[in-house]
Amino acid sequence: MGAGGRMSDSSEGKNILKRVPVDPPFSLSDLKKAIPAHCFERSLIRSSYYVVHDLIVAYVFYFLANTYIPLLPAPLAYLAWPIYWFCQASICTGLWVIGHECGHHAFSEYQWVDDTVGFILHSVLFTPYFSWKYSHRNHHANTNSLDNDEVYIPKRKSKVRNYSKLLNNPPGRVFTLVFRLTLGFPLYLLTNISGKKYGRFANHFDPMSPIFTERERIQVLVSDLGLLAVFYAIKLAVAAKGAAWVICMYGIPVVGVHVFFVLITYLHHTHLSLPHYDSTEWNWIRGALSTIDRDFGFLNRVFHDVTHTHVLHHLISYIPHYHAKEARDAIKPVLGEHYKIDRTPIFKAMWREAKECIYIEPDEDSEHKGTYWYHKVL
C-alpha cells in the first residue's frame, strides 16, 4: 500500500519530516474563497450512487467467496480466504467512510437522510453511529488540543508508562501495532482509551457518559439499539449457517474495516512534523492544520479519497468526497508549507511512526512553550 516516490509538489520529498509552521498567514475564509463553489454542493443522487456501487461490489465479493471458495482444495482455499477478507474489508471501509461522511452532513442536503444512511451503514459495520458522530464532532472542534481533543492524544514524557519503555524495541513495536490495529477501535468505544480524560469512566454506549450532552443521550441509545439489531441478525445467521460461516463471511471483514480505520486515522494524526498544543497556544485553525495526508495507492479510490484529503477534511468537513480532491488542490497554493502529504509506503510509515513518535514535549529554547512536538528517545 502507498505509492511512494512521486514528487509532484513542495509538500513531498526529503523534507517530509520538517516541522510545519505554527502560525498560518491565512484564515478559513481565505481557504473557502479559493475553492470552486460547486465543491460545496451535496448531491443525494451522486452520493447514493457510491453507496449502491459499493454494496454491489461487496455482494459480488460475497457471492464469489460463498460459491467458489468451498469448492477449492484446501491449499487454495487457505489462500483464497485472506484475499476475500482483504477485498471485502477494503470495499466495506469505503462504505464506512460514506457513513462517516453522513455524520458530517456531507451526503445530502437533508440531515435526516444523512443520519438514516449513516446509522444503517455504521450499525452494520459495528459502529455506534450517533455516539461516534458526536465524539468525532468534538475531535474536529478540538483537533490536536492536549486538553480537549477526543482521541489520539499523545503522552508527555513524564506520563510515559514503564511498559511503553519496555515495548520500545522491534518486538514490542510489533506487539503495539497489532494491539492498536485490532483492539484499538473497540477499546476506544468501550473504555475511551487514548481519548480525553473526563475524570470518570466514559464510553460510547452509555447514554449518560460524560462524552455526550443531555440532548444527545436519546440518540446514543438509538445507536445501541441499532447494534443490538445487528447482533440479533448475527444470531439468526449463526443458527442458519453456523458460526464459522458467519465469522469468515462477515466477522473477519468487519474486523478488517476497523483495522483500516485505525490505521488511516493513526497515520493522519501521528507524524514528527505535526505539533500539538496546550490551552495557552491552541486555536482551531492551528489544530485543524496539524494533520497530514497519506497515500494508500490504489486504496485511495476504494476509500473514497479520505486518505489523501484529510487536511482539507479537518478544515471544511462538509465537502463531499467526490469534490474533495479538487477542493484540496484548490487550497494547496494558499496553504503553502502548512500542507503536507507523506507518500512513504504505508507499512514503512506505520513502522517509522511507531518507532519515532513516542512522546511529546515543547522545545526548550522555543518561544512557543505550549507547542509540543513528537520525540523518539526515552
| Residue 116 maps to a domain | no
Taking only the tens place, the pLDDT of each residue in 189-204 is: 999 988 888 989 999 9
- Could you give the C-alpha distances from 341 to 124, 247, 265, 290, in angstroms and in order? 32, 36, 14, 12
Alpha carbon distance 146, 183 (integer Å): 23
Q: Is the pLDDT of residue 227 over 50?
A: yes
Confidence band, pLDDT 50/70/90 cuts, at residue 104: very high
Q: What is the pLDDT of residue 121?
A: 98
- What is the chain's mean pLDDT, rounded? 93
For residues 102 and 162, which has the higher predicted lDDT (pLDDT)? 102
| pTM for this entry | 0.93
| Residue 51 maps to a domain | no
| Residue 64 maps to a domain | no
Q: Domain range spanning residue 258?
A: 36-42+131-374
Q: What is the pLDDT of residue 1?
A: 56
Confidence band, pLDDT 50/70/90 cuts, at residue 8: very low
Mean of pLDDT values over 82-88:
98
| Residue 77 maps to a domain | no
| Residue 142 maps to a domain | yes
| Residue 264 maps to a domain | yes
Alpha carbon distance 196, 361 (integer Å): 18
| Residue 122 maps to a domain | no
Taking only the tens place, the pLDDT of each residue in 126-175 is: 999 999 999 999 999 999 999 999 999 998 888 888 777 788 889 999 99
Q: What is the pLDDT of residue 3?
A: 46
Q: Which residues of 324-342 are buried (b: 16+ CB within 10 A; e: fewer)?
A: beebbebbbebbeebbbbb
Q: Is the pLDDT of residue 9 over 70?
A: no
Cβ atoms of residues 142 and 150 within 8 Å: yes
| Residue 292 maps to a domain | yes
Taking only the tens place, the pLDDT of each residue in 230-249 is: 999 999 999 999 999 999 99
**Count of domains forming the chain:** 1
| Nearest CA-CA partner of 373 in 282, 272, 269 | 272
Q: What is the pLDDT of residue 162?
A: 78
Alpha carbon distance 152, 242 (integer Å): 38
- For residue 78, the surrounding DSSP H or E stretch is helix 74-103
Would you state the cell numbers that stand for residue 208, as one nine-digit string? 449518560
- Among 119-123, 158-162, 276-280, name the one with the lowest average pLDDT: 158-162
